[in-house]
Structure 1
Amino acid sequence: MKEHISCILCGNNASPFGRVRERDFYECQTCRAVIMDPDYYVDRDDEVYRYETHDNDVNDPRYQNFVSPLVDAVKKEYESGKTGLDYGSGTGPVAAKLLRDAGYEVTTYDPYFERNPGAFLTNYDFIISSEVVEHFHHPAKEFRLLRELLKPGGHLYCMTLRYEDEIDFESWHYAQDETHVIFYRKETAEWIKEAFNFSGLEFEERLFILEK
């Protein structure tokens, strides 16, 4: 392993942390993110192939149940009719479907499966991102963009598994996925809140929720 690498989130030095399936990971002592060495990123075609193998049927009750914490969090905060963006909607935008069925206006965007430049021409009451932020190769750029797309007081709902010290990283199933390049601790979400000038932060189940 290298002595250190630059953190892909905050740019500071990240120190050796672990090795999973012959891929090196580092921990940033500033933002506390755990990141994969970019030398091990899979290429675009392999990444798309991996996503296409996901069985994301929007009508599958199990998949709907999986994203229910995200959908429920939006419903708790916003009345129907509000506008949202599903950022990284993937091959089966089930959260967007469930919210649309409940009367919300949801735009979808995905860099691989739904390149929709018009999605960036307006601002939203809320943005949802389900199992996406752990794939960010340039997370600082992504979080800055997402904040800009929110209306004042809007919320960004990030659904991802957070890393905690009691987890055995080398055997953690989340780290086995070669397309997962960054893992967030609670402290990482707190760093994001301060660094990108969000006004609030909450944690719910698999979510961290940032308020503009």
Structure 2
Amino acid sequence: MINCALCGSETRKFTEIQERIYYQCINCNGISLDFSFYLTDTQEKERYEIHNNDVTDPGYQNFVSPIVNAIARNYTPQQKGLDFGSGTGPVITTMLRKQGYDVTTYDPFFDPNPNALIQTYDYIACCEVMEHFHHPNKEFALLHSLLKENGTLYCKTYLYNSSINFNSWWYKNDPTHVFFYTEKTLQCIKSKFNFSKLIISDKLICFRR
């Protein structure tokens, strides 16, 4: 048995699919892939490189638009933002910069800029990234530390709930997806990292520092 990579609590075996074992935390309800099935850094990077992240693709732009629109509604171009996990095609950054926004990119594989992690930001975009976190306890602690007071962390991921048949859920099939969140998991993140507010909508998760 393993301890939860987010809250450190005890986990129980959740399911085994095609010899891949998943555990669920008895405290935060997060679901994690057994560490032994994680890809190596090289394998993970190779997987990301086959993604077709074309910043000019209308479908890709539409997919990230809930985050882009939320930032445009709540922040001005003069305020500083971070696109955390910007990937091979930083579409959020591209769209915001076209509107005059000041956005820094960071990605551990494609833009590992250490200077990006020694500043603080008014807002952080984290789109389809948190399900890739190998150490969500450390990653959310880092994200919280990078936010200015009253800053907002905008996340996008697919949440698991009991109405979903996990064994047939398409979202778990990506080998780089290693940690899955429920609404209770998000509430635990809010509490553990002292975020002042959490808003969960259909297409957007917002943590306010």
- For normalisation by structure 1, the TM-score amounts to 0.96
User: Distance between the aligned counterparts of 1:7 and 1:125, measured in 2?
Assistant: 30
After superposition, where does 1:95-110 map in structure 2 within 5 Å? 95-110=92-107
Amino acid paired to 1:204: S
Q: Partner residue of 2:51?
A: 54
Q: Partner residue of 2:126?
A: 129
Aligned length: 209
- Say if 2:168 is the partner of 1:171: yes
Q: 4+ residue runs of structure 1 moved beyond 6 angstroms?
A: none
User: Distance between the aligned counterparts of 1:18 and 1:206, measured in 2?
Assistant: 27
User: Distance between the aligned counterparts of 2:10 and 2:71, measured in 1?
Assistant: 36
1:202 to 199, 203, 206: 199
CA-to-aligned-CA distance 1:61-86 (integer Å, 9 cap, x gap)? 11101111111121222123221000
Amino acid paired to 1:131: E
1:26 to 18, 23, 29: 23
User: Distance between the aligned counterparts of 2:105 and 2:6, measured in 1?
Assistant: 25
User: Distance between the aligned counterparts of 1:67 and 1:206, measured in 2?
Assistant: 9
> How far 1:20 moved relative to its partner?
2.9
1:162–1:206: 8 Å Cα contact kept in structure 2? no
Could you tell which deviates more after superposition, 16-25 or 120-129?
16-25
Give the alignment's Cα RMSD to 1 decimal: 0.9
For residue 161 of structure 2, give the secondary structure of its aligned residue in structure 1: coil
- Say if 2:144 is the partner of 1:147: yes
For residue 176 of structure 2, give the secondary structure of its aligned residue in structure 1: coil
> How far 1:29 moved relative to its partner?
1.2
User: Distance between the aligned counterparts of 2:18 and 2:151, measured in 1?
Assistant: 39
- For normalisation by structure 2, the TM-score amounts to 0.97
Amino acid paired to 1:138: H
User: Distance between the aligned counterparts of 1:23 and 1:13, measured in 2?
Assistant: 19
Matched residues, percent identical? 49
Amino acid paired to 1:24: I
> How far 1:44 moved relative to its partner?
1.2
User: Distance between the aligned counterparts of 1:205 and 1:89, measured in 2?
Assistant: 22
> How far 1:140 moved relative to its partner?
0.7
> How far 1:203 moved relative to its partner?
1.0
> How far 1:161 moved relative to its partner?
0.5
Q: Which runs of 5+ in 1 are unaligned?
A: none
1:17–1:26: 8 Å Cα contact kept in structure 2? yes
User: Distance between the aligned counterparts of 1:72 and 1:29, measured in 2?
Assistant: 36
- Say if 2:158 is the partner of 1:161: yes
Q: Partner residue of 1:35?
A: 32
